[in-house]
Chains A and B, each alone.
Chain A
């Protein structure tokens, strides 16, 4: 069974640009969550999608957005990039929509560098 895949693995952008990251969950998983990992901050929750609907949202500005398609694949978009957006962006999928009952399976992440 294939794991969670994220593309691209590495990305370099400049300030002001926008970026789209992609995540394909494990087959059969309908919940997809996105996290930002920066040194000293751990993993910070961005948002969660289930059945093409955003169910939960973290405390990030509106420049961060996402969507989920009917095949459960998800994309995350960051507009007007800032230097502080440089981070590892992780996607995680789970089988059901209650994360407290099932562990999340993470992808390898997309390393975004903003210059």
Chain B
């Protein structure tokens, strides 16, 4: 049972435009959500996170939105740059479990 789902395996956008990556979850106990970025031959690196008490968190070009009622979160990258091309994973955690559940990942390609 996939508790965290990223239904789009890939996304292609033009440089300078907005990239929107989506993630859905099923477990209502999740209270902390993270986005990771992964380049080939490297481990994932932390990008941005959001607690369930918030509905938005912004860090530079990256903004994460959380819609608890829809059990949906999204990552917005504005403006997109070619260096943003990577695999993006969303992850969720319930504070009483101590483990992260990851989605399948979305491959973002930003074209110059």
Contacts and interface: CB of A to CB of B under 8 A. Distances in A.
Interface of A: 4, 33, 35, 40-45, 48, 55-56, 58, 90, 92, 97-101, 103-109
A106 B44 contact: yes
A101 B4 CA distance: 19
Contacts of A99: 93, 98-100
A100 B4 CA distance: 16
B89 interface: yes
Contact of B43 (A55, A58, A90, A101): A90
A105 B46 CA distance: 7
Contacts of B94: 100
Q: Indicate the member of A45, A92, A100, A101 with the most B CB atoms within 10 Å.
A: A100
Contact of A103 (B34, B89, B97, B98): B34
B46 A48 contact: no
16 contacts: A33-B99, A33-B100, A35-B102, A42-B6, A42-B89, A42-B105, A43-B105, A58-B99, A100-B31, A103-B34, A106-B36, A106-B45, A107-B43, A108-B41, A108-B42, A109-B43
Contact of A100 (B44, B45, B95): B95
A97 to B, nearest CB: 6
